[in-house]
């Protein structure tokens, strides 16, 4: 039954790709449907489908460029419901290796790709250093042996305050912290020390500040236009989720991770790919 369903999905998506390349432009609804179907497949199959779709669209350069616009606006946007880092990377990799774009266009796509590949899902996260209000200096590696929920936020951000309040009330997160399975590390990435010191956090949440400005100056992590965002790291500091904006999706992911019982972080990351 599962194989039959996958065959139907692939046939539908292939047909939609052919239809899309027949237009002078691109039917955004059809391409959006392809992306939506991709995210219901295992990661390897979804990436294959994305590559196949992009290859089909090379026959119509204008359609190909419009598809890349859609990819950047939706797949590459953490706040979008279709956001998918792995499908975004697949499309960008196709664009820089292909023959459709000119040199200057490829340079821009390469910059986007370089940013997307930083702290990629399934790889080891950069060992960010931060300070805490007591004057201590810490690194993410200090929390080895626990999953880490990395919470990039701004104390002056209304959305951040609302999310933090919801986190304080989350029985899922608090329960995992109490059981010693999870560390929640809130990090302020900007350079306003007074603003950071005004922020308040529950005692079970680590309050950190990137005082050395590694994120900005060294591009250790690429911040999206708006905060807050979450990263979920394995006990070995492998990235399981990246630039997630939804606390609800993060709570669901934590439930899946803990229920899986597997220590294979890459397998877990692929499992969480399917929404």
Band (141; pLDDT cuts 50, 70, 90): very high
Look up tokens 């959305």; give the residue: 159
Q: What is the pLDDT of residue 10?
A: 52
pLDDT digits (tens, 9 = 90+) for 129-138: 999 999 999 9
Closest CA to 221 of 153, 145, 137, 166: 153
**Of 205 and 12, more confident:** 205
Of residues 49 and 119, the one with the higher pLDDT is 119
CA distances (Å), 259 to each of 25, 171, 200, 273, in order?
A: 45, 16, 32, 16
Is pLDDT larger for residue 187 or for residue 32?
Answer: 187
| pLDDT of the residue at 35 | 74
CA distance linking residue 39 with residue 270, whole number of Å: 11
3-class DSSP assignment, residue 259: helix
Summarised one tens digit per residue, pLDDT across range 151-186 is: 999 999 999 999 999 999 999 999 999 999 999 999
The two three-digit tokens of residue 18, written as one number: 């052919």
Taking only the tens place, the pLDDT of each residue in 32-48 is 777 777 777 888 888 99
Residue 113 contacts residue 93 (beta carbons within 8 Å): yes
Instruction: For residues 269 and 275, give the distance between their C-alpha atoms in angstroms, rounded to a whole number.
Output: 12
Pick the closest to residue 186 from 149, 139, 224 (CA basis): 149
Give the pLDDT of residue 13. 52
CATH architecture of 129-273: 3-Layer(aba) Sandwich (3.40)
């Amino acid at each position: 039954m599962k194989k039959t369903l996958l065959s139907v999905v692939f046939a539908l998506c292939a047909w939609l790709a052919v239809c899309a390349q027949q237009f002078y432009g691109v039917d955004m609804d059809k391409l959006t449907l392809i992306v939506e179907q991709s995210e219901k497949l295992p990661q390897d199959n979804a990436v294959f489908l994305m590559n196949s779709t992009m290859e089909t669209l090379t026959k119509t350069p204008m359609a190909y460029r419009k598809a890349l616009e859609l990819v950047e606006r939706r797949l590459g946007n953490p706040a979008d419901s279709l956001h998918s880092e792995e499908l975004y990377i697949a499309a960008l990799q196709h664009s820089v290796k292909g023959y459709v774009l000119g040199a200057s266009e490829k340079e821009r796509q390469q910059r986007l790709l370089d940013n997307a590949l930083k702290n990629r899902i399934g790889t080891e996260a950069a060992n960010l250093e931060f300070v805490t209000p007591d004057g201590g200096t810490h690194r993410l590696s200090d929390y080895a042996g626990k999953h880490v929920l990395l919470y990039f936020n701004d104390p002056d951000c209304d959305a951040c305050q609302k999310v933090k309040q919801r986190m304080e009330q989350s029985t899922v997160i608090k329960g995992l912290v109490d059981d010693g399975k999870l560390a929640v590390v809130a990090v302020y990435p900007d350079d306003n020390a007074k603003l950071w010191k005004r922020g308040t956090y529950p005692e079970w949440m680590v309050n950190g500040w990137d005082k050395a400005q590694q994120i900005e100056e060294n591009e250790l992590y690429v911040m999206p236009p708006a905060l807050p965002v979450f990263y979920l790291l394995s006990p070995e500091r492998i990235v399981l989720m990246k630039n997630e904006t939804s606390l609800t999706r993060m709570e669901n992911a934590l439930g899946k991770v803990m229920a899986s019982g597997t220590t294979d972080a890459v397998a877990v990351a692929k499992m969480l790919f399917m929404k």
